[in-house]
Each structure stands twice: as C-alpha cells, then as structure tokens.
Chains A and B, each alone.
Chain A
Amino acid sequence: MRFENIPHLLVQRAREGQTDAMEEFCLMVQPGAYAVLLSLLRNHDDASDALQDSMVRIIRFLPSMRDPRALPGWLMRLLTNQAAESRRRGVAPVIDVGELEEGAAGAAVAATSSQPLSPRRSAETHEMNARINQAVATLSERQKVALVLFEIEDLSIIEVARIMEITSGAVKFHLHEARKNMRARLRLIGVSGSSLCEEAPTR
C-alpha cells in the first residue's frame, strides 16, 4: 500500500506539532495522494483541487489520529472520502451514459497496441481514453473506489474493505458490479480487438 515508507518518527514529530516535520511529511504524502485522487477523479484540475483540501485535512486531523501505525489506511480513507466529496460538490461532472453512445463511432481504436502511434492514431487514442474516463465516471462512488483501489492500487480485498469500511463480500459485490458496468460502457465506446466487446459470460 502507498504511504508505508513514511518514517514513523517523522509522523510522530508531525503529530506533536513540529512545523518542519509536518512540512516534510506533507511533501512525502503529496505525490501519492495526488496519484490516488487522479485515479479516482480522472481529471487533473479536479485532482489538484481535491489534493489541496486533502492536505489541509491531513494536517488538521493527523494529531488526533488514534493509531499512527494505521497511517496508510487512514490516508487512503481520507483521500477516497475527499474524492467522493469533490464529486458530490460537482467538481467532477457525472457523465450520462448517452454521451458515451454519441461519440462511440469515432473512438473505436485498440488502445493496447504497442506500435508507435501516428498523429491520427494518437488523437484517436486520446479520444478513447477520454471516453474510458467518462465510463469510469458513470460508476457509482463505491464501485469506482473498489475498482480503483483493487485494480490500480493493487490492494487486496481485505485492505480495500478496511479502507471502505465495508465487508469483504461487499467489496467483491461492488467489484463485480463495476466490471459489469464497465463492460457494458466500453462496448458502447466500441473498444475493438479485445475481449471487452464480447458478450459477458453467462453465469
């Protein structure tokens, strides 16, 4: 998990209110925090705004954190909550599924190709990435958090469950729903040359 390499002594000094320690701590936390927020919000501007709010919150609540050993999970929970709050405030717009259908025809490109991209192909890839990000934005907050933490942050189901404060079964459920929804949305986008366009296996 991220943030596990932060020295315990530094955290302790920052909790005691030492300004230099807090500044150093923030500088260590900020890159990872930004990456998590970017994964969740899929937008630089939104992630930057959320990052600032998150850092202020971290500074404010770090001294009152109960168990300093649980810092990585605490930070991840704070960041996912901050991303959800940013989304609720309308910073990250919720994309309607219909918008995905409109631009589906122009974005039918295989993104997994390792060949050098021509300018046209690059533009198409960029367009398709934007569509994928829109598809992620259509997921519910819990589905998105479960998907990002599990697939991008490479956390285990148990770790995701602790961060989301739900059961492991609930995490699996949200993951399953997120994948099902993503399959349907990516089919609308028309991602070709992959199994994403195939029908979901009948269970």
Chain B
Amino acid sequence: MTPDKQTPCDRCEDLLDDYRQGRLPTEERKQLEDHLEHCDVCKAELLFRNELVTHLRNSMPTGPTPVGLSPAVHAAIQMPKHKLSQNSRKMVLIPWMFAAAVLVIFAVAFYNNRLTQSFDYDNIVAVQVMRGPTIHSEEKADKKSARKESPSEMMDIGRSADPDNGLKQETVMPSAPQPENAVNSVKDDNQLFETSRAGGMTLRSLDKNIPTQSAALPTTTTLNSDTFTTTESLRETTATQQPAQQTWLPVTENK
C-alpha cells in the first residue's frame, strides 16, 4: 500500500470509494486507514471527494416538489392499453423495416454487380463457358481426333458480324486443327476473342453499336469442323504464313 513515489497508488484510488461507501471488508479498511495516516496525497484525495459530495448535495435546488400527477400523466393512464401498445408496436417495427430496406438494397446491388461482372469492355454481354478443348499449340498434334469431336465439345465463338444487327452469326471453330498463328491473327484482328485454357467459350456481342473493329473486316468468317470461312485478310495471312496447311483449311466465303 505504500506508494513508491509521491503519488497514491492506483489500488488506493479504487478503495477510497468503497471505503467512503462503507463497502470495504474490515481487513482492507484497516490497511487503507493505515495507509491514509502516512500518505498525504491519498488523504487529500479522500477529503476532496467528501467535500465534493457535500457541495453537490448542498447545491441541489430547493423548491416545491410536484404533488400529484399532471393532466398529461392522467391522460396517459386513461388511454386504452391497445393505443399505447400500438404506438410501441410501431416503434418496434421501425428498425425491422429499416433492416428490410437495407437488405433489399444490398440484394439489388449484388445482382447488378454480378451482371456488370459479365460485361466486357468490348460490349460483350454474356460469356458462356462450354466444355471443350482449347486452341493451343500443344493440342495441335491431335488434329484428327479433334475433328471428330461432338459439337458440344466445340468452342463457339460468336461475334457481331453486322454492326447494325448485333449478333447475327456465330463462328464455330474446331479446337485442334486451327493453326496457332491463324488464331492469333484472328485475335489480333478482332480483339473480341477470349480463349480459356480450361475450355472454349462463347462470346456473344449483342450491342448493336459494336466497335468498328469487326466492321472493318471485309467478310465475316464462319469456322466449323468441316468448313472454315475466314476474312480475306485472314486467308491471305494464313496463306502466306502457312502455305502447307491450306489443304486442311477449306475456305468458303460467307454470304
């Protein structure tokens, strides 16, 4: 209990209130009284607290205390119980209504967020991922087997052929036999394709105001397992770069 410095210990500060209110056990009270005899700081603190209470009580305003119940209180007592409870029920409902409103706002925001996540910067509205082998160089070796794959395993890539009508044609490409540089050139030309290593994907552009990149192409291309339709420029590119593979790239001009 003896303070190390010229300050009362923290324990003494706590005990002083219990001591003043008579809530201190006998042993602790004796220890505190011994401490107070030797510690002027704690003694001054005790004196201050006692005088503060005296001042607070003496300064209480004196005057007439209300006698009887006021008319407003009488009216509240006479008011039917259901009216009082109605008011309180409304008060209870307010936070619930607020919580429901917040929930609806969050749900709408979440739904909108999911929609916007599926939008591409190039006005691609929806991305549907389908199973199927991807177009990658490591799979080129398996050309024949890939040609026989079922349609569900193909990668559908749709893009806007006509800027006025949005999506009009879907470009269907087999995954395996496509030459890598040809695919790359398609990518470079259109910048609308996205390929997934896990599988093919279908990109559909529904925006009628599609950027002029696709419109700049002279001809729309359609590629499938039997027939490949490319743009003239693409055909030229593939012809110059892959002359030996022109045999498996039969090209049909699209209408």
- Which residues on A are within 8 Å of B, measured CB to CB? 17, 19, 22-23, 26-27, 30-31, 34, 38-39, 42-44, 48, 51-52, 55-56, 59-61, 63-64, 111-112, 128-130, 132-133, 136, 147-148, 150-152, 154, 156-157, 172, 175-176, 179, 182-183, 186, 191, 194-196, 198, 201-203
Chain B minimum-CB-distance residue to A130: B59
Complex Cα gap A196–B59 (Å) = 15
- Taking CB atoms, residues of chain A closer than 8 Å to B63 are 44
A154: which of B21, B41, B45, B58 is its contact (CB, 8 Å)? B21
CA distance A61 to B63 in the complex (A): 30
User: How far, in angstroms, from A31 to B66 measured CA to CA in the complex?
Assistant: 8
Which among B54, B77, B81 has the greatest number of chain A C-beta atoms within 10 A?
A: B77
The residue that A56 contacts in the complex, of B13, B54, B60, B73, with Cβ under 8 A, is: B73
Query: What is the minimal beta-carbon distance from A18 to any residue of chain B, in angstroms?
Result: 10
Determine the distance from Cα of A128 to Cα of B54 in the docked complex, in whole angstroms: 13
Cβ B66 vs Cβ A147 within 8 A: no
The distance from the CB of A134 to the nearest CB of chain B, in whole angstroms, is 10
Known: A31-B65, A147-B56. A196 touches B87 (CB 8 A): no
- CA distance in complex: A63, B68 (Å): 22
Q: Is the CB of B41 within 8 A of A201?
A: yes
Interface class of chain B by DSSP: helix
Cβ–Cβ contact B59 & A133, under 8 A: yes
A-B contact count (CB 8 A): 122
Interface residue B150 (Cβ < 8 Å from any Cβ of A) = no
Give the distance in Å from the alpha carbon of A51 to the alpha carbon of B69 in the complex: 10
In the complex, which residues of chain B have a beta carbon less than 8 angstroms from the beta carbon of A133?
59, 61
Report how far A5 CA is from B135 CA in the complex, Å. 87
**CB contact list, B91-127 vs A, under 8 A:** none
A-B contact sample (8 more), CB < 8 A, given A22-B77, A51-B66, A60-B76: A59-B73, A112-B54, A151-B52, A194-B47, A195-B47, A198-B44, A201-B8, A201-B44
CB distance from A20 to the nearest CB of B (A): 9
Are A59 and B77 interface neighbours, CB within 8 A?
yes
The residue that B7 contacts in the complex, of A148, A196, A201, with Cβ under 8 A, is: A201
The complex places the Cα of A19 from the Cα of B84 at a distance, in Å, of 13
Q: List 12 A-B contacts (CB under 8 A).
A: A19-B77, A30-B69, A34-B66, A52-B72, A60-B76, A60-B88, A63-B85, A151-B53, A172-B14, A176-B13, A179-B49, A202-B6
Q: Say yes or no: is B55 at the interface (Cβ < 8 Å to chain A).
A: yes
Does A26 contact B55, Cβ atoms closer than 8 Å?
A: no
CB-nearest residue of chain A relative to B49? A179
> What are the 4 A-B residue pairs with the smallest beta carbon separation, nearest first?
A129-B59, A132-B59, A201-B41, A17-B81
